[in-house]
Structure 1
Amino acid sequence: MKTVFINGLGLIGATMARIIKAANPATTIIAFDPKQENITTMVDDGVVDSAVDFETGAKQADLIILATPVSGICSSLRQLAELDLKSGVLVTDVGSSKETILAAAEPLMNRGIQFLGGHPMAGSHLTGSKNSRLDLFANHSFFLVNGNASPAAIKEYQVLLAPGQLHFSSLTAKQHDQLVSATSHLPHMVAFALTNTIIPEVDDMAIDPGIPSGGLLDTTRIAKADPDMWTAIFTSERADLLAQIDQFQKQLTRLRTAIAVDDQDSIHDQLQAANEARLRLEEKR
């Protein structure tokens, strides 16, 4: 993979570029991003060799990485299906809605072009290439959802990402979307809703709250995430997210009922179960 084209140099796309350049400095990385500051940062850092338009970059590449919001990835896949791409090119992405993306990649795969879905399970509320870094994905899962890529192409891609210290896991698009909806999409939704619940109430008190409590800051940190990206995620993964919201509402109702009737045993049991479950999560890291 001598030439890599990355469409989108936000936090994730720029991090991918840094990992690939670290793997092989001789690799030519070309990129497109509508924000000039993202391009400038990566070119000045010596990671991206040049900026190109989408069609030019796609036609020159041995590897194409789509690193825009999900709606943009789907649009790019449809555009790629109409272009004359290099023989043996591998197309991949970093989006979080794999069933939607795999469906959009069908016309591309029907032409015999290799597609491999990808999704790093790491990120930050910070955005833009200026916040990208080589170790952003280190010791986190990187999910692979294969469309029609050959074992050799997948292996070559994994080798190219070795400096990122990723833990690769292969699964189906449905498995991916169910898992990510529960572990990422629902927590972000809750953080957004919790912030919108608490902050207006505090503001209406007309009292300076001083330094906010650690509990508030901890549980709402991810509400600082990019609204454009998360709007695209929520609307592309409606069914799975709505199912997770229903399950969350059941848990809230169960706890609310116990509080309302002063059922201290039930309250304690629910909190204890959550405490133990959270500790098990830490043991897996």
Structure 2
Amino acid sequence: MTTVFIKGLGLIGSSLARAIREGHPDFRILASDPDPKTQEYALSQQLADQMLPGLEGAEGADYIILAGPVDAIKADIRQLSQMDLKKGALVTDVGSVKQAIVDQAQALTKKGVDFIAGHPMAGSHKTGAWAGRALLFENAFYFLIPASQAAGKRLPELEDLLKAARVKWLQLTAEEHDKIIAQISHLPHIVAAGLVNQTEDTFAGQPLGTRLAAGGFKSITRIASSDPTMWSQILLNNSEDILKQLAEFQAELKEVAREIEAGDEAALYDFFQKAKISRDKLGPDQVGAAPGHYDLFVNIPDQVGALADVTRLLAEAGISIVSLQILEIREEIDGVLQLTFAREADRQQAKEILAAYEMKK
């Protein structure tokens, strides 16, 4: 019987467990997680056939998935390299930084163990095993970086293991991955957190300012709610790329400050115009959506029952909502409701239903 061992049953690890269970119901899944509540939940929901401490279940596994924070993944790889793993075992991970993990994985490669670094570009505002779902990854990019030529030949094998995740596979180098993700994910998280902290300091002793920080401010700083432990480790493990891109962003801000000080309206116009053109190319319906998620923005009137009308219409159509958020609501002015769906088909159907609803208002 094929055995899969998963270390870490948070949002990503538990979602992979669900996908493997769906795609390979005959496979045996062993798992490890330090949280007693997660252990109990995993067994009750059949995410795992057995929960084990540490890496105890890894030695006899055909596939080993490391789904903890980056530093934990590196420590697990070091420990695995000292263990007598099953012949032909394939090891992979889900970390947000790849070069540091691939470098660490050379300890496995030297022992003849195949390692394929992985990173599913999917997430949720929710955390923990109970937030996981097999469809979390649907249509999301899933990066794969083989640590050796031998491991590269086993890419189809790993893709088959996770076939029920329905992802878009993308192979690239660890260097390419870390540079791209530093710019489109790591830097935005720093900017969002910095803006929230600076706003908190600015409005110290002036609670009205914080209360008014809604609408666009809440939208662009949403990712500042991310896990501090995870993001501290990500920044330290991808420091070279992040420091370079952070310096370039700081230079951009200094240039804007210079243009404001000089009263250079033409330069400021060009600054915003360039950004508008670039952002619009991303697509108005998809920009800002998490990979694997599909966002729909709906104008709703500031009336009693307006939100209930929207959710009722979608429920009657059998459309499941991943999350919803009111981006802006003021008296006598339409608010903007952001609805997130797991499937593009759901988003499109909801768009048609709610377009008819908006016309009636």
In the superposition, the TM-score normalised over structure 2's length comes to 0.75
**Matched ranges for 1:1-285 at <5 A:** 2-148=2-148, 149-151=150-152, 153-207=154-208, 209-210=210-211, 212-282=213-283
C-alpha deviations, 1:168-221, integer Å up to 9, x for none? 111111111111111110011111111101123234213275464211111111
Query: What's the secondary structure of 1:105's corresponding residue?
Result: helix
Q: Once the 2 structures are TM-superposed, how far is the Cα of residue 122 of structure 1 from its aligned partner?
A: 1.6
The answer as to whether partners of 2:29 and 2:50 remain within 8 angstroms in 1 is yes
The structure whose RCO (Cα within 8 Å, separation 6+) is larger is 1
What is the distance in 2 between the residues matched to 1:268 and 1:27? 59
Alignment gaps of 5+ in structure 2 = 287-361
Instruction: Give RMSD over aligned pairs.
Output: 1.8
Query: What's the secondary structure of 1:282's corresponding residue?
Result: coil
Query: What's the secondary structure of 1:96's corresponding residue?
Result: coil
What is the distance in 1 between the residues matched to 2:260 and 2:9? 48
- Give the count of matched residue pairs: 285
What is the distance in 2 between the residues matched to 1:247 and 1:125? 29
Q: Once the 2 structures are TM-superposed, how far is the Cα of residue 53 of structure 1 from its aligned partner?
A: 2.1
What is the distance in 2 between the residues matched to 1:248 and 1:208? 26
- Structure with the higher fraction of residues in helix conformation: 1
Bigger CA drift: 148-157 or 14-23? 148-157
What is the distance in 1 between the residues matched to 2:210 and 2:60? 56
Bigger CA drift: 119-128 or 84-93? 119-128
Q: Once the 2 structures are TM-superposed, how far is the Cα of residue 259 of structure 1 from its aligned partner?
A: 1.7
Bigger CA drift: 202-211 or 28-37? 202-211
What is the distance in 1 between the residues matched to 2:112 and 2:285? 39
What is the distance in 1 between the residues matched to 2:239 and 2:152? 32
Q: Once the 2 structures are TM-superposed, how far is the Cα of residue 55 of structure 1 from its aligned partner?
A: 3.4
What is the distance in 1 between the residues matched to 2:61 and 2:212? 50
What is the distance in 2 between the residues matched to 1:162 and 1:264? 53
What is the distance in 2 between the residues matched to 1:283 and 1:154? 34
The answer as to whether partners of 1:70 and 1:232 remain within 8 angstroms in 2 is yes
Alignment gaps of 5+ in structure 1 = none
The answer as to whether partners of 2:115 and 2:151 remain within 8 angstroms in 1 is no
The answer as to whether partners of 1:19 and 1:134 remain within 8 angstroms in 2 is yes
Amino-acid identity (%): 38
Bigger CA drift: 161-170 or 241-250? 161-170
Higher Cα radius of gyration: 2
C-alpha deviations, 1:40-86, integer Å up to 9, x for none? 22222122111012332111210000111111111111110111111
What is the distance in 1 between the residues matched to 2:59 and 2:51? 14
What is the distance in 2 between the residues matched to 1:89 and 1:187? 37
In the superposition, the TM-score normalised over structure 1's length comes to 0.94
Q: Once the 2 structures are TM-superposed, how far is the Cα of residue 137 of structure 1 from its aligned partner?
A: 1.7
Bigger CA drift: 229-238 or 195-204? 195-204
Bigger CA drift: 92-101 or 125-134? 125-134
Bigger CA drift: 187-196 or 207-216? 207-216
Segments ≥4 residues shifted beyond 3 Å: 149-152, 208-212
Query: What's the secondary structure of 1:111's corresponding residue?
Result: coil
